[in-house]
Structure 1
Amino acid sequence: MNITKLGIGTYLQLPYFLRRVSLIAGIWLFAGLPVLANAPLRFSQPILIAQGNLLDVSLRLGSSGTRVLELQRALGGLRLLSTNEIDGIYGEQTKHAVRQFQRIRRLDVTGVADAETLQELGIDPSIALPVLVHPIHGGISTDRLVYGSRSEDVLTLKYVLNSFGFTLVENQTYGRQTFEAVQVYQATAELPQTGTADRDTLLHMGFRPSDEALEVLEISQGDSNSEVPESRYVAAIMAGPSQIIQVRREFPEATVVRDDRRGEYISLGQFEEHSTAKDWVDKARNEFRYEAQVLWD
Protein backbone atom coordinates (compact mmCIF):
# COMPACT_ATOMS: atom_id res chain seq x y z
CA MET A 1 0.00 0.00 0.00
CA ASN A 2 1.29 3.41 -0.93
CA ILE A 3 1.10 5.40 2.32
CA THR A 4 1.90 8.68 0.57
CA LYS A 5 -1.08 8.29 -1.83
CA LEU A 6 -3.30 7.29 1.07
CA GLY A 7 -2.31 10.38 3.03
CA ILE A 8 -2.86 12.72 0.10
CA GLY A 9 -6.21 11.10 -0.66
CA THR A 10 -7.37 11.52 2.91
CA TYR A 11 -6.21 15.11 2.88
CA LEU A 12 -8.14 15.90 -0.34
CA GLN A 13 -11.33 14.45 1.16
CA LEU A 14 -11.23 16.99 4.02
CA PRO A 15 -13.46 20.11 3.82
CA TYR A 16 -11.73 23.15 2.33
CA PHE A 17 -11.52 24.98 5.67
CA LEU A 18 -9.86 22.06 7.46
CA ARG A 19 -7.42 21.60 4.60
CA ARG A 20 -6.33 25.24 4.91
CA VAL A 21 -5.94 25.03 8.69
CA SER A 22 -3.96 21.78 8.57
CA LEU A 23 -1.69 23.11 5.82
CA ILE A 24 -0.90 26.29 7.76
CA ALA A 25 -0.31 24.32 10.95
CA GLY A 26 2.03 21.94 9.14
CA ILE A 27 4.07 24.77 7.61
CA TRP A 28 4.33 26.52 11.00
CA LEU A 29 5.47 23.34 12.74
CA PHE A 30 8.05 22.52 10.06
CA ALA A 31 9.45 26.05 10.07
CA GLY A 32 9.70 26.04 13.84
CA LEU A 33 11.62 22.77 14.19
CA PRO A 34 15.12 24.32 14.03
CA VAL A 35 14.19 26.82 16.74
CA LEU A 36 12.56 24.20 18.95
CA ALA A 37 15.54 21.91 18.58
CA ASN A 38 17.87 24.56 20.00
CA ALA A 39 15.50 26.07 22.55
CA PRO A 40 16.23 25.66 26.27
CA LEU A 41 14.03 23.25 28.18
CA ARG A 42 12.95 25.83 30.75
CA PHE A 43 12.08 29.19 29.24
CA SER A 44 10.95 31.13 32.28
CA GLN A 45 13.40 30.04 34.96
CA PRO A 46 16.10 32.52 36.05
CA ILE A 47 19.64 31.57 35.09
CA LEU A 48 21.41 34.59 36.51
CA ILE A 49 23.18 34.02 39.80
CA ALA A 50 24.58 36.59 42.18
CA GLN A 51 28.02 36.82 40.65
CA GLY A 52 29.71 39.22 38.31
CA ASN A 53 29.16 42.94 37.94
CA LEU A 54 25.39 42.49 37.77
CA LEU A 55 23.92 41.48 41.11
CA ASP A 56 20.65 40.09 42.30
CA VAL A 57 19.62 42.21 45.30
CA SER A 58 18.48 39.30 47.48
CA LEU A 59 18.98 38.14 51.04
CA ARG A 60 19.44 34.42 51.55
CA LEU A 61 20.70 31.70 53.86
CA GLY A 62 24.11 32.83 55.17
CA SER A 63 23.50 36.58 54.74
CA SER A 64 24.05 38.74 57.81
CA GLY A 65 24.04 42.32 59.03
CA THR A 66 21.64 45.22 59.35
CA ARG A 67 19.85 44.26 56.12
CA VAL A 68 18.90 40.90 57.58
CA LEU A 69 17.84 42.60 60.84
CA GLU A 70 15.34 44.77 58.94
CA LEU A 71 13.98 41.71 57.16
CA GLN A 72 13.66 39.80 60.44
CA ARG A 73 11.91 42.70 62.17
CA ALA A 74 9.37 42.85 59.35
CA LEU A 75 8.76 39.10 59.66
CA GLY A 76 8.59 39.44 63.44
CA GLY A 77 5.97 42.18 63.09
CA LEU A 78 3.81 39.61 61.28
CA ARG A 79 4.56 37.03 64.02
CA LEU A 80 6.20 34.77 61.47
CA LEU A 81 9.50 34.94 63.37
CA SER A 82 10.01 34.88 67.13
CA THR A 83 11.82 37.72 68.91
CA ASN A 84 14.80 35.59 69.91
CA GLU A 85 15.45 34.79 66.23
CA ILE A 86 15.96 38.47 65.32
CA ASP A 87 19.76 38.40 65.41
CA GLY A 88 20.90 39.70 62.02
CA ILE A 89 21.81 36.21 60.75
CA TYR A 90 19.81 34.62 57.93
CA GLY A 91 19.50 31.11 59.35
CA GLU A 92 17.07 28.26 58.88
CA GLN A 93 14.34 29.89 60.96
CA THR A 94 14.49 33.07 58.91
CA LYS A 95 14.42 31.01 55.72
CA HIS A 96 11.36 29.14 57.01
CA ALA A 97 9.62 32.43 57.87
CA VAL A 98 10.37 33.83 54.40
CA ARG A 99 8.98 30.67 52.78
CA GLN A 100 5.83 30.93 54.90
CA PHE A 101 5.38 34.59 53.93
CA GLN A 102 5.91 33.79 50.25
CA ARG A 103 3.42 30.93 50.38
CA ILE A 104 0.72 33.10 52.00
CA ARG A 105 1.30 36.02 49.60
CA ARG A 106 1.28 33.72 46.52
CA LEU A 107 4.92 34.42 45.66
CA ASP A 108 7.50 31.93 44.42
CA VAL A 109 8.32 29.86 47.51
CA THR A 110 12.13 29.89 47.46
CA GLY A 111 13.17 30.87 50.97
CA VAL A 112 15.20 33.67 49.38
CA ALA A 113 14.14 37.23 50.17
CA ASP A 114 14.36 38.55 46.62
CA ALA A 115 13.36 42.02 45.44
CA GLU A 116 9.67 41.09 45.08
CA THR A 117 9.51 39.54 48.55
CA LEU A 118 11.21 42.55 50.13
CA GLN A 119 8.79 44.90 48.37
CA GLU A 120 5.82 42.88 49.62
CA LEU A 121 7.23 43.23 53.14
CA GLY A 122 7.43 47.00 52.68
CA ILE A 123 11.25 46.97 52.50
CA ASP A 124 13.21 48.87 49.85
CA PRO A 125 15.11 46.18 47.88
CA SER A 126 18.13 48.47 47.65
CA ILE A 127 18.90 47.62 51.30
CA ALA A 128 20.13 44.27 49.98
CA LEU A 129 22.95 45.81 47.97
CA PRO A 130 26.19 44.04 48.84
CA VAL A 131 28.54 45.32 51.54
CA LEU A 132 31.63 44.68 49.40
CA VAL A 133 31.90 44.26 45.63
CA HIS A 134 34.60 42.60 43.54
CA PRO A 135 34.85 44.12 40.03
CA ILE A 136 34.79 40.69 38.35
CA HIS A 137 33.21 38.17 40.70
CA GLY A 138 30.47 40.24 42.29
CA GLY A 139 29.32 41.24 45.73
CA ILE A 140 29.11 39.76 49.21
CA SER A 141 26.76 40.66 52.05
CA THR A 142 29.39 40.79 54.79
CA ASP A 143 32.96 41.96 55.38
CA ARG A 144 33.97 38.91 57.42
CA LEU A 145 33.86 35.27 56.35
CA VAL A 146 34.97 32.60 58.83
CA TYR A 147 35.74 28.90 58.96
CA GLY A 148 32.53 26.85 58.95
CA SER A 149 30.45 29.41 57.04
CA ARG A 150 28.07 28.25 54.32
CA SER A 151 26.71 30.87 51.92
CA GLU A 152 26.81 32.37 48.44
CA ASP A 153 29.41 34.78 49.83
CA VAL A 154 31.82 31.88 50.42
CA LEU A 155 31.34 30.78 46.81
CA THR A 156 32.25 34.28 45.61
CA LEU A 157 35.31 34.26 47.87
CA LYS A 158 36.42 30.97 46.29
CA TYR A 159 36.06 32.39 42.80
CA VAL A 160 38.38 35.23 43.81
CA LEU A 161 40.92 32.92 45.50
CA ASN A 162 40.97 30.65 42.45
CA SER A 163 41.69 33.67 40.28
CA PHE A 164 44.94 33.98 42.28
CA GLY A 165 45.93 30.43 41.37
CA PHE A 166 44.30 28.36 44.11
CA THR A 167 42.30 25.27 43.13
CA LEU A 168 39.40 25.25 45.58
CA VAL A 169 36.23 23.30 44.93
CA GLU A 170 33.67 25.97 44.04
CA ASN A 171 30.90 25.38 46.55
CA GLN A 172 29.40 27.34 49.45
CA THR A 173 31.39 25.74 52.29
CA TYR A 174 34.24 27.52 54.10
CA GLY A 175 36.16 24.39 54.98
CA ARG A 176 39.73 23.51 55.88
CA GLN A 177 41.12 24.02 52.36
CA THR A 178 39.55 27.47 52.11
CA PHE A 179 40.86 28.35 55.58
CA GLU A 180 44.40 27.31 54.58
CA ALA A 181 44.16 29.11 51.21
CA VAL A 182 43.21 32.32 53.01
CA GLN A 183 46.18 31.84 55.37
CA VAL A 184 48.55 31.40 52.42
CA TYR A 185 47.12 34.51 50.77
CA GLN A 186 47.48 36.50 54.00
CA ALA A 187 51.09 35.34 54.52
CA THR A 188 52.01 36.32 50.96
CA ALA A 189 50.23 39.68 51.30
CA GLU A 190 51.93 40.30 54.70
CA LEU A 191 48.62 40.31 56.54
CA PRO A 192 47.87 38.59 59.89
CA GLN A 193 47.55 34.85 59.16
CA THR A 194 44.17 34.26 60.80
CA GLY A 195 42.56 32.14 58.09
CA THR A 196 39.53 34.41 58.38
CA ALA A 197 38.62 36.51 55.33
CA ASP A 198 38.27 39.75 57.28
CA ARG A 199 37.73 43.21 55.83
CA ASP A 200 41.44 43.99 55.33
CA THR A 201 41.98 40.67 53.54
CA LEU A 202 38.96 41.14 51.30
CA LEU A 203 39.98 44.69 50.41
CA HIS A 204 43.47 43.45 49.54
CA MET A 205 41.87 40.83 47.24
CA GLY A 206 40.20 43.61 45.28
CA PHE A 207 36.82 43.95 46.96
CA ARG A 208 35.57 47.52 47.39
CA PRO A 209 32.73 48.99 49.44
CA SER A 210 29.44 49.28 47.59
CA ASP A 211 27.87 52.71 47.21
CA GLU A 212 25.78 52.24 50.31
CA ALA A 213 28.68 51.06 52.47
CA LEU A 214 30.91 53.89 51.20
CA GLU A 215 28.30 56.53 52.04
CA VAL A 216 28.06 55.22 55.61
CA LEU A 217 31.85 55.26 55.85
CA GLU A 218 32.01 58.87 54.64
CA ILE A 219 29.45 60.00 57.22
CA SER A 220 31.25 58.24 60.07
CA GLN A 221 34.65 59.64 59.06
CA GLY A 222 33.45 63.10 58.05
CA ASP A 223 35.32 62.76 54.77
CA SER A 224 33.55 64.97 52.24
CA ASN A 225 36.24 64.54 49.60
CA SER A 226 35.78 60.83 49.00
CA GLU A 227 34.34 60.01 45.61
CA VAL A 228 31.33 57.73 45.50
CA PRO A 229 31.59 55.39 42.52
CA GLU A 230 28.82 55.72 39.98
CA SER A 231 26.14 53.08 40.34
CA ARG A 232 23.89 51.68 37.66
CA TYR A 233 20.76 49.57 37.78
CA VAL A 234 19.57 47.19 35.09
CA ALA A 235 15.95 46.31 34.39
CA ALA A 236 16.21 42.66 33.39
CA ILE A 237 13.83 39.98 32.17
CA MET A 238 15.10 36.59 33.28
CA ALA A 239 14.92 34.80 29.95
CA GLY A 240 17.19 33.78 27.12
CA PRO A 241 17.36 34.68 23.41
CA SER A 242 14.45 32.38 22.57
CA GLN A 243 12.12 35.09 23.93
CA ILE A 244 13.80 38.20 22.54
CA ILE A 245 11.39 38.53 19.58
CA GLN A 246 8.40 38.41 21.89
CA VAL A 247 9.96 40.85 24.37
CA ARG A 248 10.81 43.35 21.62
CA ARG A 249 7.13 43.60 20.74
CA GLU A 250 6.64 45.47 24.02
CA PHE A 251 10.23 46.73 24.55
CA PRO A 252 11.82 47.46 21.13
CA GLU A 253 15.22 48.36 22.63
CA ALA A 254 15.58 45.10 24.58
CA THR A 255 18.88 43.26 24.13
CA VAL A 256 20.19 39.82 25.04
CA VAL A 257 23.11 39.84 27.47
CA ARG A 258 25.38 36.80 27.40
CA ASP A 259 28.10 35.84 29.86
CA ASP A 260 30.07 32.60 30.10
CA ARG A 261 29.54 32.31 33.85
CA ARG A 262 26.30 34.18 34.51
CA GLY A 263 24.29 32.82 31.62
CA GLU A 264 21.83 34.87 29.58
CA TYR A 265 19.09 37.39 30.30
CA ILE A 266 17.29 40.19 28.47
CA SER A 267 18.14 43.78 29.41
CA LEU A 268 15.50 46.49 29.06
CA GLY A 269 18.05 49.20 29.82
CA GLN A 270 20.57 50.54 32.35
CA PHE A 271 19.62 53.40 34.68
CA GLU A 272 21.35 55.59 37.25
CA GLU A 273 18.32 55.57 39.58
CA HIS A 274 16.96 52.41 41.20
CA SER A 275 13.42 53.83 41.03
CA THR A 276 13.62 54.22 37.24
CA ALA A 277 14.77 50.64 36.74
CA LYS A 278 12.04 49.49 39.13
CA ASP A 279 9.39 51.26 37.04
CA TRP A 280 10.48 49.29 33.97
CA VAL A 281 10.52 46.04 35.94
CA ASP A 282 7.04 46.73 37.31
CA LYS A 283 5.79 47.37 33.79
CA ALA A 284 7.29 44.12 32.52
CA ARG A 285 5.79 42.19 35.43
CA ASN A 286 2.38 43.78 35.76
CA GLU A 287 1.49 44.52 32.14
CA PHE A 288 3.17 41.63 30.35
CA ARG A 289 3.68 39.00 33.10
CA TYR A 290 7.41 38.60 32.55
CA GLU A 291 9.73 37.35 35.28
CA ALA A 292 11.74 40.52 35.80
CA GLN A 293 13.91 42.12 38.46
CA VAL A 294 16.31 44.98 39.11
CA LEU A 295 19.97 44.00 38.90
CA TRP A 296 22.84 46.05 40.20
CA ASP A 297 25.72 46.83 37.86
Structure 2
Amino acid sequence: MESLLINRLTTLSHPQRMAVFRLLMRRCPDELPAGEIVEVLQIKASTASVYLAALTQAQLISQRRDGTRLLYTINLDAAREVVMGLFVDCCRGRADLCPPPFSDLLRGLSPIADRTFNVLFVCTGNSARSIFAETILRDLAGDRFTAYSAGTAHRSSLNPLAVDLLRSKGHDVSPLRSKNIEEFHGADAPQMDFVFTVCDHAANEDCPAWPGQPVSGHWGMPDPVKATGTDAQKRLAFHQTYGALRNRITAFTALSFENLSHAALQKHVDDISKITAT
Protein backbone atom coordinates (compact mmCIF):
# COMPACT_ATOMS: atom_id res chain seq x y z
CA MET A 1 0.00 0.00 0.00
CA GLU A 2 2.84 2.39 0.81
CA SER A 3 4.37 2.00 -2.66
CA LEU A 4 0.97 2.63 -4.25
CA LEU A 5 0.53 5.80 -2.18
CA ILE A 6 4.00 7.03 -3.17
CA ASN A 7 3.24 6.29 -6.85
CA ARG A 8 0.00 8.23 -6.69
CA LEU A 9 1.57 11.18 -4.91
CA THR A 10 4.35 11.20 -7.50
CA THR A 11 1.76 11.25 -10.27
CA LEU A 12 -0.06 14.16 -8.64
CA SER A 13 3.16 16.10 -8.04
CA HIS A 14 3.14 17.34 -11.64
CA PRO A 15 1.14 20.62 -11.77
CA GLN A 16 -0.74 19.84 -14.98
CA ARG A 17 -1.53 16.25 -14.00
CA MET A 18 -2.87 17.70 -10.77
CA ALA A 19 -4.92 20.19 -12.81
CA VAL A 20 -6.55 17.30 -14.70
CA PHE A 21 -7.23 15.49 -11.42
CA ARG A 22 -8.76 18.59 -9.83
CA LEU A 23 -10.95 19.26 -12.87
CA LEU A 24 -12.38 15.73 -12.77
CA MET A 25 -12.87 16.05 -9.02
CA ARG A 26 -14.82 19.28 -9.49
CA ARG A 27 -17.00 17.64 -12.12
CA CYS A 28 -17.63 14.46 -10.12
CA PRO A 29 -19.62 12.32 -10.85
CA ASP A 30 -19.57 13.46 -14.51
CA GLU A 31 -17.60 11.69 -17.21
CA LEU A 32 -15.62 14.15 -19.35
CA PRO A 33 -14.43 13.51 -22.90
CA ALA A 34 -10.76 14.14 -23.52
CA GLY A 35 -11.62 17.01 -25.85
CA GLU A 36 -13.40 18.94 -23.10
CA ILE A 37 -10.44 18.44 -20.75
CA VAL A 38 -8.14 19.81 -23.45
CA GLU A 39 -10.41 22.81 -24.00
CA VAL A 40 -10.88 23.67 -20.32
CA LEU A 41 -7.20 23.35 -19.37
CA GLN A 42 -5.94 24.77 -22.70
CA ILE A 43 -3.36 22.07 -23.29
CA LYS A 44 -2.43 20.12 -26.41
CA ALA A 45 -4.36 16.92 -27.09
CA SER A 46 -1.14 14.89 -27.20
CA THR A 47 -0.04 16.33 -23.86
CA ALA A 48 -3.41 15.63 -22.28
CA SER A 49 -3.22 12.04 -23.52
CA VAL A 50 0.06 11.53 -21.64
CA TYR A 51 -1.35 13.04 -18.42
CA LEU A 52 -4.56 11.02 -18.65
CA ALA A 53 -2.61 7.81 -19.23
CA ALA A 54 -0.46 8.44 -16.15
CA LEU A 55 -3.47 9.20 -13.95
CA THR A 56 -5.29 6.14 -15.27
CA GLN A 57 -2.28 3.91 -14.64
CA ALA A 58 -2.14 5.17 -11.05
CA GLN A 59 -5.86 4.33 -10.79
CA LEU A 60 -6.61 7.91 -9.77
CA ILE A 61 -9.08 8.26 -12.65
CA SER A 62 -11.14 5.81 -14.69
CA GLN A 63 -11.47 5.55 -18.47
CA ARG A 64 -14.45 4.32 -20.49
CA ARG A 65 -14.91 4.12 -24.25
CA ASP A 66 -18.15 5.50 -25.67
CA GLY A 67 -18.10 4.89 -29.42
CA THR A 68 -15.15 6.86 -30.74
CA ARG A 69 -14.75 8.89 -27.55
CA LEU A 70 -12.81 8.18 -24.38
CA LEU A 71 -14.58 9.39 -21.26
CA TYR A 72 -12.78 10.05 -17.99
CA THR A 73 -14.05 10.30 -14.43
CA ILE A 74 -12.50 10.58 -11.00
CA ASN A 75 -11.84 7.39 -9.03
CA LEU A 76 -13.20 8.42 -5.66
CA ASP A 77 -12.00 5.29 -3.90
CA ALA A 78 -8.42 6.03 -4.94
CA ALA A 79 -8.75 9.70 -3.97
CA ARG A 80 -9.97 8.68 -0.54
CA GLU A 81 -7.11 6.20 -0.19
CA VAL A 82 -4.58 8.97 -0.88
CA VAL A 83 -6.11 11.27 1.71
CA MET A 84 -6.56 8.54 4.29
CA GLY A 85 -3.05 7.27 3.64
CA LEU A 86 -1.65 10.69 4.45
CA PHE A 87 -3.76 11.64 7.42
CA VAL A 88 -4.82 8.35 8.97
CA ASP A 89 -1.75 6.20 8.48
CA CYS A 90 0.83 8.98 8.80
CA CYS A 91 -0.98 10.51 11.79
CA ARG A 92 -1.44 7.04 13.28
CA GLY A 93 -5.15 7.57 13.70
CA ARG A 94 -4.69 10.69 15.84
CA ALA A 95 -7.29 13.09 14.49
CA ASP A 96 -5.92 15.85 16.72
CA LEU A 97 -2.75 15.91 14.60
CA CYS A 98 -4.69 16.55 11.39
CA PRO A 99 -5.60 20.06 10.27
CA PRO A 100 -9.15 21.10 11.14
CA PRO A 101 -11.75 20.58 9.79
CA PHE A 102 -10.27 17.38 8.31
CA SER A 103 -10.13 15.86 11.79
CA ASP A 104 -13.92 16.06 11.83
CA LEU A 105 -14.08 14.04 8.62
CA LEU A 106 -11.88 11.33 10.13
CA ARG A 107 -14.26 10.96 13.04
CA GLY A 108 -17.24 11.03 10.68
CA LEU A 109 -19.57 13.99 10.54
CA SER A 110 -22.82 13.64 12.43
CA PRO A 111 -26.12 14.13 10.62
CA ILE A 112 -26.93 17.73 9.74
CA ALA A 113 -28.90 19.44 12.48
CA ASP A 114 -32.48 20.60 12.11
CA ARG A 115 -32.08 24.22 11.06
CA THR A 116 -32.40 26.60 8.14
CA PHE A 117 -29.81 25.89 5.43
CA ASN A 118 -28.07 28.37 3.14
CA VAL A 119 -27.99 27.17 -0.48
CA LEU A 120 -26.10 28.84 -3.33
CA PHE A 121 -26.66 28.06 -7.02
CA VAL A 122 -23.77 29.07 -9.27
CA CYS A 123 -23.72 29.55 -13.03
CA THR A 124 -21.67 31.59 -15.46
CA GLY A 125 -24.06 34.46 -16.03
CA ASN A 126 -26.65 34.25 -13.23
CA SER A 127 -29.27 35.05 -15.84
CA ALA A 128 -31.45 31.93 -16.21
CA ARG A 129 -30.52 28.52 -14.73
CA SER A 130 -29.26 29.71 -11.36
CA ILE A 131 -32.09 32.25 -11.17
CA PHE A 132 -34.60 29.45 -11.80
CA ALA A 133 -33.03 27.34 -9.04
CA GLU A 134 -32.96 30.17 -6.51
CA THR A 135 -36.61 31.02 -7.14
CA ILE A 136 -37.86 27.43 -7.14
CA LEU A 137 -36.15 26.57 -3.85
CA ARG A 138 -37.35 29.78 -2.21
CA ASP A 139 -40.95 29.08 -3.18
CA LEU A 140 -40.91 25.32 -2.54
CA ALA A 141 -39.22 25.36 0.87
CA GLY A 142 -38.37 28.89 1.91
CA ASP A 143 -39.12 28.01 5.53
CA ARG A 144 -36.21 25.52 5.61
CA PHE A 145 -33.78 26.98 3.06
CA THR A 146 -32.40 30.42 2.31
CA ALA A 147 -31.73 30.39 -1.41
CA TYR A 148 -29.09 32.43 -3.22
CA SER A 149 -27.66 32.48 -6.74
CA ALA A 150 -24.61 34.03 -8.36
CA GLY A 151 -22.60 34.07 -11.57
CA THR A 152 -18.89 33.75 -12.22
CA ALA A 153 -19.00 36.34 -15.02
CA HIS A 154 -18.43 39.93 -13.94
CA ARG A 155 -21.16 41.38 -16.12
CA SER A 156 -24.57 39.82 -16.51
CA SER A 157 -28.28 40.59 -16.35
CA LEU A 158 -31.49 38.65 -15.87
CA ASN A 159 -32.69 37.03 -19.07
CA PRO A 160 -36.16 38.40 -20.02
CA LEU A 161 -37.44 34.99 -21.17
CA ALA A 162 -36.38 33.44 -17.85
CA VAL A 163 -38.13 36.18 -15.87
CA ASP A 164 -41.29 35.88 -18.00
CA LEU A 165 -41.37 32.11 -17.47
CA LEU A 166 -41.04 32.49 -13.71
CA ARG A 167 -43.92 35.00 -13.70
CA SER A 168 -46.05 32.62 -15.76
CA LYS A 169 -45.44 29.90 -13.15
CA GLY A 170 -46.69 32.21 -10.41
CA HIS A 171 -43.31 33.04 -8.86
CA ASP A 172 -42.52 36.38 -7.27
CA VAL A 173 -39.61 37.79 -9.27
CA SER A 174 -39.21 41.02 -7.28
CA PRO A 175 -36.32 39.67 -5.11
CA LEU A 176 -34.26 38.67 -8.15
CA ARG A 177 -31.13 40.46 -9.30
CA SER A 178 -28.01 39.32 -11.12
CA LYS A 179 -25.11 38.83 -8.69
CA ASN A 180 -21.42 37.97 -8.94
CA ILE A 181 -19.95 35.12 -6.94
CA GLU A 182 -17.47 37.49 -5.25
CA GLU A 183 -20.40 38.80 -3.24
CA PHE A 184 -20.47 35.48 -1.40
CA HIS A 185 -16.75 35.26 -0.65
CA GLY A 186 -16.57 38.34 1.55
CA ALA A 187 -16.10 38.32 5.31
CA ASP A 188 -19.73 39.30 5.87
CA ALA A 189 -21.16 36.77 3.41
CA PRO A 190 -23.47 34.04 4.75
CA GLN A 191 -21.77 30.67 5.23
CA MET A 192 -23.14 28.15 2.78
CA ASP A 193 -24.37 24.67 3.68
CA PHE A 194 -24.83 23.66 0.03
CA VAL A 195 -23.26 24.96 -3.19
CA PHE A 196 -24.55 23.72 -6.53
CA THR A 197 -23.15 24.54 -9.96
CA VAL A 198 -25.83 24.40 -12.65
CA CYS A 199 -23.60 24.85 -15.70
CA ASP A 200 -20.46 23.02 -16.81
CA HIS A 201 -18.45 26.19 -17.33
CA ALA A 202 -18.90 27.29 -13.71
CA ALA A 203 -18.09 23.78 -12.47
CA ASN A 204 -14.89 23.74 -14.52
CA GLU A 205 -13.55 26.90 -12.91
CA ASP A 206 -10.96 26.55 -10.17
CA CYS A 207 -12.68 28.71 -7.54
CA PRO A 208 -11.56 29.29 -3.94
CA ALA A 209 -12.70 26.69 -1.43
CA TRP A 210 -15.87 27.55 0.44
CA PRO A 211 -15.51 27.97 4.22
CA GLY A 212 -17.26 25.42 6.39
CA GLN A 213 -16.99 22.57 3.86
CA PRO A 214 -20.50 22.83 2.38
CA VAL A 215 -21.96 19.87 0.52
CA SER A 216 -21.37 20.62 -3.16
CA GLY A 217 -22.95 19.22 -6.27
CA HIS A 218 -22.89 19.70 -10.02
CA TRP A 219 -26.36 19.83 -11.56
CA GLY A 220 -25.25 20.95 -15.01
CA MET A 221 -27.62 21.31 -17.94
CA PRO A 222 -27.64 23.06 -21.32
CA ASP A 223 -27.97 26.83 -21.33
CA PRO A 224 -31.47 27.75 -22.59
CA VAL A 225 -30.19 31.22 -23.44
CA LYS A 226 -28.18 29.64 -26.27
CA ALA A 227 -31.19 27.84 -27.76
CA THR A 228 -31.79 28.52 -31.45
CA GLY A 229 -34.78 28.17 -33.75
CA THR A 230 -38.24 29.66 -33.56
CA ASP A 231 -39.53 31.61 -30.58
CA ALA A 232 -41.54 28.54 -29.57
CA GLN A 233 -38.42 26.35 -29.65
CA LYS A 234 -36.52 28.86 -27.55
CA ARG A 235 -39.32 29.00 -24.98
CA LEU A 236 -39.39 25.20 -24.90
CA ALA A 237 -35.71 25.15 -23.93
CA PHE A 238 -36.46 27.42 -20.97
CA HIS A 239 -39.42 25.25 -19.94
CA GLN A 240 -37.28 22.09 -20.06
CA THR A 241 -34.56 23.70 -17.94
CA TYR A 242 -37.11 24.93 -15.43
CA GLY A 243 -38.74 21.48 -15.28
CA ALA A 244 -35.46 19.63 -14.70
CA LEU A 245 -34.41 22.03 -11.95
CA ARG A 246 -37.80 21.85 -10.27
CA ASN A 247 -37.65 18.03 -10.26
CA ARG A 248 -34.13 18.06 -8.79
CA ILE A 249 -34.95 20.63 -6.14
CA THR A 250 -38.14 18.77 -5.21
CA ALA A 251 -36.07 15.62 -4.67
CA PHE A 252 -33.49 17.61 -2.70
CA THR A 253 -36.02 19.17 -0.34
CA ALA A 254 -37.59 15.73 0.29
CA LEU A 255 -34.35 14.36 1.83
CA SER A 256 -34.32 13.52 5.54
CA PHE A 257 -31.48 15.85 6.45
CA GLU A 258 -31.64 15.06 10.15
CA ASN A 259 -31.04 11.35 9.45
CA LEU A 260 -28.26 11.63 6.86
CA SER A 261 -24.54 11.83 7.45
CA HIS A 262 -22.44 14.26 5.44
CA ALA A 263 -21.25 11.41 3.18
CA ALA A 264 -24.75 10.01 2.65
CA LEU A 265 -26.09 13.46 1.85
CA GLN A 266 -23.32 13.96 -0.72
CA LYS A 267 -24.29 10.66 -2.39
CA HIS A 268 -27.94 11.78 -2.64
CA VAL A 269 -26.90 15.14 -4.09
CA ASP A 270 -24.82 13.37 -6.76
CA ASP A 271 -27.72 11.04 -7.61
CA ILE A 272 -30.13 13.96 -7.95
CA SER A 273 -27.93 15.39 -10.71
CA LYS A 274 -29.24 12.62 -13.01
CA ILE A 275 -32.91 13.70 -12.70
CA THR A 276 -34.32 15.29 -15.85
CA ALA A 277 -37.49 17.19 -16.75
CA THR A 278 -39.36 14.06 -17.84
TM-score if structure 1 supplies the norm length?
0.22
